Structure 1
Amino acid sequence: MGVVTVVGLGSMGKAALYYLLKHTNHEVWGYDKSSEVVNNALSLGANAVRADVMDDSVTKKIASNSDVVLTAVPQSIADSLVIKLHDYGVNVVDLIFLWKFSDEVAGRVKNGPLVIPACGWAPGLTNLLAVAASSELDIVEEVGIHVGGNPVNPRPPLYYDLLFSVESTIEEYVRPATIMFNGELKNVDPLSFIYPFKTWLIEGDFSEFYTDGLSTLIVTMPKWFRTIKTMYERTIRWSRHLEVMRVLKDLGLLNNTDVLVKSLGNVLKPGVEDFSLTIVEAKGMINGEPAKIAFEGIDYAREGFTSMARLTGFTAAIVADLVAKKAIVGSGLVPIEEAYVRNRDVLRQVLNGLKAENVKFMLTKTVTAP
């Protein structure tokens, strides 16, 4: 048993806290500056403290009293907090650190305590599934990640509900997405290409667009799979929603982020009943024949948690548990896909942990004979 501290007790952090309390024997602590969310954490049975985690004295105390810190703070402070905790000597699992990969930021944590970056649902779980699927192939040519959290009942005018922060939601539509095409990395405008999307998992009129979720995969995948030529993440939305967002883009209304945050913040309502789609595919060759490996799953809101919070918070909590139990070890920056390469049992443990909360994935292998 160790001490696992969750910093940031919003929807994702609360889900992580819930999982750790329910499924592990660790001593679990939570920190946030909001009295409301701290009280919610106390009601779950956690040791929860109201404090500003960006205060150096608080950060140092958290680091010295913890075996692992799971950080679920806003994107605006995630990088600086993770680096501070790392410098104070504690292992860290974070939801969005290095979501946009940076050599400079990665270099700040290349040695010392373990840091597992961008370890939520997407990126995070999707990274793990991408490398696991690719490892089933003899030759890897393409990896495609198709993910999306959406309201069960989409309502006008935006046909979307707020499932995480307004700022991060808008980022999906305005930040250039890094993808690999013909073996080279390139940046594309997210809404430049909108593709129809269908899946056997659910009926509905869906579309998808490029988003910037490859994170550390842009450096890890080419290192292990030198034949890879194509790699991307696309986010799935109800088609009506992307039609509206495309109009906003064409009118130039996506250019002023500050105004957009205020405007959409007044329109978007917090999501309650949502579902999340995850389809991760690797294509290439097995025994000289074309082949495809796919992980597919759908999850719905349950027990007061949105599906997005479940997938994000539970995945991070499972990984934090594995670090605390020393099932994942290492020094410095260790993306979750690298933890898998070092120990393939990580996949089984993560998927079994998710299954304990009724989150299930199906693995299919298709080999096409001539």
Structure 2
Amino acid sequence: MLEQSLIEDGMRRGLAIARRGPSHTPNPQVGCVLLDPEGRVVAEGWHRGAGTPHAEVEALGHLLAEWHDRAAELTAVVTLEPCNHTGRTGPCAAALIAAGVGAVAYALSDPGQESSGGADTLRAAGVEVRGGVLDGEARALLAPWLEKQAGAVPARTGDPLPRPSRPRVIVKWAQTLDGRAAATDGSSQWITGEGARADVHRRRARADAILVGTGTLLADDPALTARDAAGGLLVPPKEQPLPVVVGRREIPASARVRAHPALAAHGLSEPLRFTGADLAADLASLAEHGVRSVFVEGGPTVASALIAAGLADDVLVYVAPALLGGPRLAIGDLGIPDISGILRLSETRIERLGDDLLVIASLDRASSALGPVTEGS
């Protein structure tokens, strides 16, 4: 096995190329690099979507002929434990063994009941194996996928994937460059362009639930579905995010959310409802319903309350190169009295979506507490 620093360098490359794969499918983003005895990359690959070769097989397919008889000198560095089952494609552990790769290093253990166990299979075949390499960075990349797996299967011994006490909370909003989410009269469609809106729908499709406050529901009458550019469903009804409404006001009988396709698919007669008086308890209840990730589009009141209560994990801020002015801020009071309480974001990255920018960041869970969502939410 190569020295740790060379393996970590390889893992960083693997994580970088993993992001080239689609992020809005049921499959995880996985990257694999094959390193020579000096730690140089001789081949690499990433998973390009359901039904395509897994990252390990993709990398092996790019290996030059000169290495075919010297594969025992190579170390495969993979961002997720090589799978151990046959689905649409064959088991990656078996592919690595068949190729004669001498060592395998991976970041995270595969949490699947059927797909896990690749490391044991490799060891049984005489391959040197090391796990847990840059696992924190890999977990950050695969967080939404891992949250779903954590609720579906029990954690394996030594794999820190406990069933969460609440879902992962992703708070999204769109704003102008001066921080406004709507014009003075309340109109807000559309602040961002088509590219940003398409990205929102892809991210909705990855979540188990989508949450709004009654204020947003009454003002915009949103459908809360994940749709494609033509307006059709991006994923089947049962894979659509469950609609969740927070607040005390009634949902109108004519509200579009009452016809949400996920309701019938899950045997529900109406959206999941919470008053917002205890957001932590509301989220715990969602976890009991099997919800592992929540996409929050609830307007400034709900978004601010979740952030201030320390219940938000990530923020997605779509920023349009435009100005509105006026009172309609995207985020309200967070209960921060002075600059010493500023809430710093971490793991921040920026993506360009047409003319708009998407800021992706994680939040510190130790945020100060805020009161409950009020009647006006």
Q: Judge same fold: TM > 0.5, yes or no.
A: no
Higher Rg of the two aligned structures: 2
Higher RCO structure, 1 or 2 (CA under 8 Å, sep 6+): 1
Higher helix share: 1
TM superposition score normalised by structure 1: 0.30
